[in-house]
Every structure is written in C-alpha cells, then in structure tokens.
Amino acid sequence: MTDTEMKVDPQRAAALVSQIKTVRERITAVAKGRDVRLVAVSKLKPANDILALVQQASPPQLHFGENYAQELGQKAELLPRSIHWHMIGGLQSGHCKNLAKIPNLWCVSSVDTEKKAQLLDKYRGEFISSFSTSSPSPSPSPSPSPSTPAPEKLNIHIQINTSGEPSKSGCAPGAATISLCRFVEAAPNLHLLGLMTIGAIARSVATTPENENEDFVCLREQRDLVQKELGLERELELSMGMSEDFEGAVAMGSNEVRVGSTIFGARPLKSEAKIRE
C-alpha cells in the first residue's frame, strides 16, 4: 500500500491538525521569535495519523520521531519521501545498518557510543556511494533510480545522561561527551547537529517557563563546553523538551522539542499497535 491508497479518517485528521496547531502556538508563545523544530513523536501510532498531518496540517508537518528502528523502517516505506524521520529511541548497534540506509532518515538523536557512531558512518557511506556508482549496491535495497536524489550525511544528536540515572541511556557529561562529539565531527558521513537529553521525570513535571530544569541547564553547559573544546564556529543544537516540559525547554533555549501524546493522544500497548489502519 502507498500513501495515495492509505485512508485518512476526516474526524481523526481534524483532531490531529487542531492538536498540533495548539502545540505550535504554545511553542511560539515562549520562543521569542526563534525557529524551534517540532518533532511529532508518532511511536506506536499508525501511518495514517502521520499522513494526515503531512497532508492537512498548515504548514505540513514533516518532522516525525520514532522510538523503534523496525517501526521507523516500515513506516518510511509506506509514507512520502518528503518526511524527515528522526530515530529518537534507544539505539542498538544491530539496527545501525538498516537505519543508515533509509534515504530520508534525517537525524539519529540517540547516539551515545563511538561504536554506534562508527557503524552509522560506515553504512551511511556505503549507501551514499551506491548512488554515485553504476555497480550494484551491496545492500539488499533496490538500486536507486536516476531521478532519486542521493542521500545526505546523517545528522547526529549525541545523547547525554544529564540526570546521572543508571536506567537512562546517554554519554556521561564531560570528557566522554567531548570525545564522542569529536569523533562524530570528524566522521565523513555524519554531521554533528547537537546534543540531546531525556531528563529525570520528576524534573520534567516540575518544569515551567519560569522554573529552570537542571537537566536542561546541564545540556546547555555541555553544548558550550563541546563548542569550546572542538573550536566550533557554528552553534550546536539543543534537543530537549517533551510533552510534559517543552515550553520550559524552549524558554531555556531548546532548538528542538519532541512531542507525542499531546498531539496523538494515549498510545496503545506495543503488542496492539498497528503500522497502518
């Protein structure tokens, strides 16, 4: 099934468009004129919902985040190439090859080890090379047609464990973060876009535009440290803020927020989720 054949329920579409409009307005209210990217987190939601926001939101919503590599791959095959996909969930080394060969994967936001960065760089490089050579691609993917635009470098957010919780993924602040950022900055097929955090839940709940979140303060400090240590002239992004705390994150300088349930509503159990309806 292609996106032209996929059905979009008019009532569901209207609700989604209304909800994302409200989120955009809430971001604008605290952004002080800055352009803040909204990633709509569509984890465990059907492709029909995503298509509704691509087709009917004004302007179209094109940045979508997924937590599971397999689900992202399946949806990317069904939906328009104009979508910019973000892998925001825990990244496993075994998924790097398939992820890197999704043409419109725009960003991997959960890179926390050099090994994972190395694999993404290797396989993205192979994928890019397959577009510039007439020899058969080593991947199982079909050969690109001449009209298909070549994939670009993968944008990377380094995930930082700002709260220090053992249950959380992410690089430790300080030397480990600097080292990993240095590796990604030098990788030929990756682009160091910025830093990302998923902070402590208690801190998220307590966050308001007036009440600074310690995790966000830490991420901002790490960003400044990395820029100084790597001698970067450009400013790295801060990807911080989710449904519970995105307004506070934007007020503290976030360049990207990841909002799911506030747009899509409660998620089903993973065992009951459908890729499409």
The label of the residue with tokens 């995503």 reads: 50
148 confidence band (pLDDT: 50, 70, 90): low
- For the stretch 163-202, pLDDT in tens is 888 888 999 999 999 999 999 999 999 999 999 999 776 6
What percentage of the chain reaches a pLDDT higher than 70? 88
Question: How many Å apart are CA 226 and CA 40, to the nearest integer?
Answer: 28
Residue 7 has pLDDT above 70, yes or no: yes
Helix (H) / strand (E) element for 193: namely strand 190-196
- Residue 40 φ then ψ, to 5°: -85, 115
204 confidence band (pLDDT: 50, 70, 90): low
Q: Which pLDDT value is given to residue 151?
A: 85
Burial class (CB in 10 A: 0-12, 13-18, 19+), 273: middle
> Which contacts qualify for 30-34: CB closer than 8 Å, 24 or more apart?
30/209, 30/247, 30/250, 30/251, 31/250, 34/250, 34/255
Residue 267 has pLDDT above 80, yes or no: yes
Model-level pTM? 0.92
147 confidence band (pLDDT: 50, 70, 90): low
Q: Which pLDDT value is given to residue 142?
A: 47
Q: What average pLDDT does the chain have?
A: 91
Question: How many Å apart are CA 105 and CA 99, to the nearest integer?
Answer: 7
Q: Which of 34-43, 132-141, 172-181, 184-193 has the lowest mean pLDDT?
A: 132-141
- Residue 119 φ then ψ, to 5°: -65, -45
> Which contacts qualify for 2-5: CB closer than 8 Å, 24 or more apart?
2/78, 3/47, 3/51, 3/78, 3/79, 3/80
* pLDDT, average across residues 244-264: 96
